Homo-oligomer: A and B are copies of this chain.
Amino acid sequence: MEREKDWKQQEHIPMLGAAYYPEDWDEAEQEKDIEWMRKAGMKVVRMAEFAWHCMEPREGEFHFDWLHRVIDRLKEAGIMVILGTPSATPPIWLEELDPDMRRWNHDHRQETHGGRRHCCSNNDTYNQYSLRIAEKMAQEFGREETLLGWQIDNEIDVQSDGCFCDSCVDKFHAYLEEKYKTIEELNRRWNLNLFSQAYDRFEQIPAPERSWHNPHLLFEWFRFQADSQIGFIRRQAEVLRAYSDKPIGTDMMPMMGIDYEKMAGFLDVMQFNHYNTEENLKDVPFWFDLLRPLKNRPFWNTETATCWNGSTCIGQSVKPDGFCRVNSWLPIALGGESNMYWLWRQHWAGHELMHGSVMSAAGRPLPVFAEVQRTAEEFDKAAEFIAGTQVETEAALHVSSTNSGLQAVQEIVPEPGAGDILTPYLYRVQQYFYQPMVQSGLRPDVIGAGKELEGYRLLVSPVMLTLEEADLQSRIADWVRKGGVWVVGPMTDIRDDIGAHYRDRAMGMVEELTGVALTYQIPDAEHRMKAVWSNGEEFIVNEWLQLYDVPENAEVLARVSEGYSTAIGKALAAKIKVGNGCVILVGTFPDREDMLRLMEIACRESGVKPLRHSASVTAVRRGGSQRGYIALEHDGQPATFVPEMKVKDILTGVEYAAGEEIAMKPYDVKVLAEV
């Protein structure tokens, strides 16, 4: 038997872990599993998230012994646990207590038992029993020595277009009445003179089933449904907190449906699941850059695949050597303290039988096992550096759930690809703005509307249709006047808080702040318009143009040179000094090269100093008890990174001079501490 440990979380950071379903296996198999976990170097396992029926097989009859036994066995192996509340998968006896508990879809068909998240987060009975099982778990495990923290529910989000049960519709009406006070005010703000849509009473307002609905109704429905999920999580957080001082979070997926800032308000730790593959690994840092500024403590990457995804595996491919390792390092580099795989051992029956894991259903290691072991060893080597340093940056990029929602329902931004209505917004922000920023050596905090701007010197706000959120209009104006450099992307500040046009001006505050006039807005999917930089070089225009008449003091960076006759000569990009700061207008979705050039100008103006590395490198400055960098090659190509000071790679012991171009292999990981 091992010596008694002091279960301080710090000793485990950075943590490698996995999801485990002890309810799948008898105790003999559990023993074997835990022995393999120890071999692999696991420090934490996530459990219980779907195990309601095992914990409460009949109403009010609670069984926690089996879970205690697993926790104890894991403790013996030096492994901590995260416990999930099981509200995503209610037992059938519970669903039978209230015929409306399961979600009603927009076509008035109800979900059936099966799957997950099929119940309505606004249903009273469902809430009541979800809170009770959470409370019981908190009482039972809240002070458990090896409990690292709580995960509430699982991947909560608005399912499809929400729930259309009577309870949801009633609460939607209450939400509208709370916000608009009178039906006359709602009619006025939504402009319901149009199409004779005006309502006499809030109760007349339909949930948006079929019909060509008013976009403001769609927007409010979308906000209401998203906020309903936040409320469901908050209620559980309050119950857990009453009995446990362990950090509380909920593991979320990469969508902008739910407002991350609102959710972060009452949680202790951000938790995040992703299943990105080689094709889109470059998009994962965006989410870590978004999670980092939400809380003052490191986030947890609660789920990622070791080797392949999904219920089905045919149609996929094994990932290359080194992918699992760099994928595991990414959250650690960018401000997290853990990386956990889904799942430890393949299920033997039921759903998702073919999902990648660490161990097969037969209890044999998968090909990726050795890579997992190596990663665990490296985490240990770098533990002191990781625990003693944080990510440092002076740049920020705006992203807002409100603006995502506005665009999705306002019929403004159709899907460039397929699928989710939220995709187009994220696609444009990531593709046209975030990617060029990080490729040019910046490491922006991706911030919501509510985030304080103090401490940033450079702020980029693309496609922020409305700035009427969290007092942004005046807060940005103040920050610019005090010296901030603000890059205003296309489609920013052109709508009010529910997506209506301004009637007496074209922009909410930018025109007044800078003295420009937004003259024309022109769609241009086919590149009929051309523009040039002030030195005559081409500025490539994509999808949309906003053209400005600018004041005397403005420096026009780019103008229209060809296309519709009345637009030629109008300013497409311009820089205007405002107080001690400046505003840089960009009236289109810029090509990568043009955005890199704009970022050069913005860095020069703001004094922000980018790192030097290849485009396929994710790099970050870290400071605190030491200084240094983490640099990861995320695209499977040879690359380079240049440190600004003399450093030593903690993983290999190799030293590099300041300014030396360090060669990185495909999927390479460098943890560089100043020496």
A421 within 8 A of B: no
Q: A519 an interface residue at 8 Å Cβ cutoff? A: yes
- Closest Cβ of chain B to A348, distance in Å, is 4
**0/1 per residue, A206-218, Cβ < 8 Å to B?**
1111111111110
Main SS at interface, chain A: loop
User: Which residue of the partner chain B has the closest CB to A491?
Assistant: B314
Query: Is residue A204 within 8 Å, beta carbon to beta carbon, of the partner chain?
Result: yes
Give which listed residue, B214, B351, B504, contacts A214 with CB less than 8 A: B351
Residues of B within 8 A of A351 (CB): 194-195, 212, 214-215, 411
Chain B residues within an 8 Å CB radius of A364: 506, 519
Q: How far is the CA of A361 from the CA of B518 in the complex (A)?
A: 12
| A316 part of interface (Cβ distance < 8 Å) | yes
- A413-B312, A543-B314 are contacts. A349–B525 as well, Cβ < 8 Å? no
Contact across chains for A524 and B318 when beta carbons are under 8 A apart? yes
Measured between beta carbons, the chain B residues less than 8 angstroms from A204 are: 92, 96, 113
Measured CB to CB, the closest approach of chain B to A484, in angstroms, equals 27
State the oligomeric state as a number of copies: 3
Q: Are B312 and A206 in contact (CB under 8 A)?
A: no
Given contacts A86-B196, A190-B349, contact A314 B360 (CB under 8 A): no
Q: Chain B nearest CB: distance from A505 CB in Å?
A: 6
Contacts of A504 on B, CB cut-off 8 Å?
362-363
**Inter-subunit contact A197/B413 (CB<8 Å):** no
Nearest chain B residue, comparing its CB with the CB of A345: B503
Q: Is the CB of A414 within 8 A of B314?
A: yes
Q: Smallest Cβ distance from A542 to chain B, in angstroms?
A: 10
From A199, A320, A368, A411, name the one whose CB has the most chain B CB atoms within 10 angstroms: A411
Q: Enumerate 30 A-B pairs (CB-CB under 8 Å) in ascending A order.
A: A29-B503, A50-B194, A53-B192, A57-B198, A92-B200, A93-B200, A96-B204, A107-B107, A109-B210, A111-B211, A112-B206, A114-B212, A114-B213, A115-B212, A118-B211, A189-B349, A216-B350, A311-B411, A314-B412, A315-B414, A315-B525, A317-B524, A317-B526, A318-B528, A318-B529, A353-B412, A363-B504, A367-B564, A367-B566, A369-B566
Give me the interface of A with B, judged by CB distance under 8 Å: 21, 23-24, 29, 50-54, 57, 86, 89-93, 96, 105, 107-109, 111-116, 118, 189-200, 204, 206-217, 308, 311-321, 346-354, 360-364, 366-370, 410-414, 498-506, 519-529, 543-544, 563-567
